[in-house]
A and B are shown apart, each in its own frame.
Chain A
Amino acid sequence: MATPDIIFYSAKGSPFSQRVEIAFQEAKADITKYSIDLRDKPEWYASRVNSTGMLPVVVYGSPRSDPEHPSPESAKIAESHILLEFIADLYLDSGLLPKDPVERARVRLFIDAAVTKLTAPTSAFFHGGSPDGFIAALMEIQELLPPTANFAVGDHFTIADAAIAPFLARWELRLRNDVGKFEEGTGLRVYEELFQSERFARLQKYYASISNRESFKNSFDPEYILAMDTGRLGRH
């Protein structure tokens, strides 16, 4: 029996979509990617793909030849973290999730810690609040990284890395370009602290491993994202 077709609806520039893009590339999956500009979403998207209108979505079991008319019988799967697990389930030998139950739990705990600790302080900071919570949260994440391995839970790239990489990269990009609603210069100051100081050496090494990964480079368009973020978060 032929493997069901996979159509991946991806939002251009979105970190949530990039998570899924990275995972598909790491799995060397043969899929059809349909890229959507969130500022100009096709009017058929909500009625034919996902009633909430949100992305990313994967349609599984509908012919790749016609992404604009997915079959009503096909499975539609949403939510980036659920999609990361789905891709790991489809490609069991990709290493996206280890086979050992304890190692799998470590991957999931890393993702959980990253989301729980980082979401609120990051949003607060980039919307003009203090950097302290953001920096402290990244210190906690750094503490979770294994001292010498390449990635979040060991030497193999997993969905833990796919989950955090798009966000780390956008923060690096914004800070280096001083983009955010904070006072001018704050971004550069925080950039120095996180991406140049000795205190965050481990994080920098991790970021280098992540950002050198082909799957990351292929799915990250810094000019596009910087323009988007400057528009949203710039000081006008």
Chain B
Amino acid sequence: MATPDIIFYTAKVCPYAQRVEIAFQEAKADVTRYPIDLLNKPEWYAPRVNPASKVPAVVYGSTKSDPENPSPESARVTESLVLLEFVADLYPDSGLLPKDPVERARARFFIDAVSTKVFPPFIAFSFRGESPDAFIAAVAEIQELLPPAAQFAVGDHFTIADAALAPFLGRWELLLRNDLGKFEEGTGPRVYKELFQSERFARLQKYYASISSRESFKNSFDPEYLVAMAKKRLGRQ
């Protein structure tokens, strides 16, 4: 039987889509990518691919489909965290998830901790201009979860835990360094110095270096493009 066809609907700007892109690259998956312009979505996208009209989305099926008109019989999978598990299931030897149940639980716990502890205070800080203190404290908690000597979130192998956090860590580094957010001018670089240069966050910085030098990350992260998009969103030049 021929390998099922994978169509991956994605957008360069979207960190959730980048999670899945990283996983596909780590698995060396053969995938057809279809970029969706989130500011000008094709009218066929919601009815034919994802009723929620969001990326990332994957169409997975036995027939080779036209991305603009995929076979209705093919499966649709959405939600970046569900997709990370899906890619790990499709490529069980990629190491994206360890084989040991306890290690798998550790990877999932890391992902859950990042989502529940860090994202809300980051949004409050960057999108609403509130104090960065809660965000910095949350990042400190995540740093405590990193193994003291291993390269990645749950050991020396790159897993979906790393794929889940990398796009966000990359954007925090970029946007803070460039002072791009709804916070008061100058706050970005101040928080950047704390997280990416201070001794207190040395472990995080080492982790960020491992992540950002990974091919799958570099191939899917375009700093100039992201800065331009952030400036546009903030109404700056």
Pairs A-B, 10 closest by C-beta atoms: A101-B89, A89-B101, A102-B75, A108-B82, A75-B102, A105-B77, A86-B105, A105-B86, A82-B108, A77-B105
Instruction: Mark interface residues in B95-119 (1 if CB within 8 Å of A CB, else 0).
Output: 0000001101100110010000000
**Which residue in chain B gives the minimum CB-CB distance to A102?**
B75
Contacting B at CB under 8 A, from A51-86, are 60, 75, 77-79, 81-83, 85-86
Chain B's nearest CB lies how many Å from the CB of A84? 10
- The answer to whether A102 and B105 touch across the interface, beta carbons within 8 angstroms, is no
* Chain B residues packing against A (C-beta within 8 Å): 60, 75, 77-79, 81-83, 85-86, 89-90, 101-102, 104-105, 108-109, 112
- The answer to whether B112 and A79 touch across the interface, beta carbons within 8 angstroms, is yes
At the interface, yes or no: A228 with Cβ under 8 Å from chain B? Answer: no
- Taking each of B79, B81, B83, B101, which has the highest tally of chain A beta carbons within 10 Å of its own beta carbon? B101
Q: Which residues of B contact A108 (CB under 8 A)?
A: 79, 81-82, 85
Assembly CA distance A108 to B79 (angstroms): 10
Assembly CA distance A76 to B152 (angstroms): 20
A77-B102, A102-B60, A112-B79 known; A85+B86 contact, CB < 8 A: no
What DSSP secondary structure best describes chain A's contact surface?
Answer: helix
- The answer to whether B78 and A77 touch across the interface, beta carbons within 8 angstroms, is no
- The answer to whether B82 and A109 touch across the interface, beta carbons within 8 angstroms, is yes
Q: Which residues of B contact A102 (CB under 8 A)?
A: 60, 75, 77, 86
**Which residue in chain A gives the minimum CB-CB distance to B109?**
A82
- The answer to whether A105 and B75 touch across the interface, beta carbons within 8 angstroms, is yes
Assembly CA distance A90 to B77 (angstroms): 25
Chain A's nearest CB lies how many Å from the CB of B88? 9
At the interface, yes or no: A104 with Cβ under 8 Å from chain B? Answer: yes
Assembly CA distance A108 to B77 (angstroms): 10
Assembly CA distance A83 to B78 (angstroms): 22
Chain A's nearest CB lies how many Å from the CB of B84? 10
A109-B78, A109-B79 known; A104+B105 contact, CB < 8 A: no
Contacting B at CB under 8 A, from A182-218, are none
- The answer to whether B89 and A86 touch across the interface, beta carbons within 8 angstroms, is no
Assembly CA distance A82 to B110 (angstroms): 11
- The answer to whether A101 and B86 touch across the interface, beta carbons within 8 angstroms, is yes
A78-B109, A82-B109, A102-B60 known; A109+B104 contact, CB < 8 A: no
Instruction: Mark interface residues in A85-98 (1 if CB within 8 Å of B CB, else 0).
Output: 11001100000000
**Which residue in chain B gives the minimum CB-CB distance to A87?**
B101
**Which residue in chain A gives the minimum CB-CB distance to B78?**
A109
Q: Which residues of A contact B101 (CB under 8 A)?
A: 86, 89-90
- Taking each of B77, B81, B102, B104, which has the highest tally of chain A beta carbons within 10 Å of its own beta carbon? B102
Assembly CA distance A226 to B5 (angstroms): 50
Assembly CA distance A75 to B98 (angstroms): 16
Selected from B79, B83, B108, the residue in CB contact (under 8 A) with A85 is B108
Q: Which residues of B contact A101 (CB under 8 A)?
A: 86, 89-90
Extra contacts besides A102-B77, A109-B77 (10): CB < 8 Å: A77-B105, A81-B112, A82-B109, A86-B102, A89-B105, A102-B60, A102-B75, A105-B89, A108-B82, A112-B81
**Which residue in chain A gives the minimum CB-CB distance to B75?**
A102
Chain A's nearest CB lies how many Å from the CB of B129? 24
**Which residue in chain A gives the minimum CB-CB distance to B116?**
A79
- Taking each of A81, A82, A105, which has the highest tally of chain B beta carbons within 10 Å of its own beta carbon? A105
Chain A's nearest CB lies how many Å from the CB of B66? 20
- The answer to whether B79 and A79 touch across the interface, beta carbons within 8 angstroms, is no
Selected from B75, B86, B104, B109, the residue in CB contact (under 8 A) with A89 is B104
Q: Which residues of B contact A105 (CB under 8 A)?
A: 75, 77, 82-83, 85-86, 89
- The answer to whether A104 and B86 touch across the interface, beta carbons within 8 angstroms, is yes
Q: Which residues of A contact B105 (CB under 8 A)?
A: 75, 77, 82-83, 85-86, 89
- The answer to whether B75 and A85 touch across the interface, beta carbons within 8 angstroms, is no
Q: List 14 A-B contacts (CB under 8 A).
A: A75-B102, A77-B105, A77-B109, A82-B105, A86-B102, A86-B105, A101-B86, A101-B89, A101-B90, A105-B77, A109-B77, A109-B78, A112-B79, A112-B81
Assembly CA distance A105 to B105 (angstroms): 17
A102-B77, A105-B77 known; A85+B82 contact, CB < 8 A: no
- The answer to whether A104 and B112 touch across the interface, beta carbons within 8 angstroms, is no
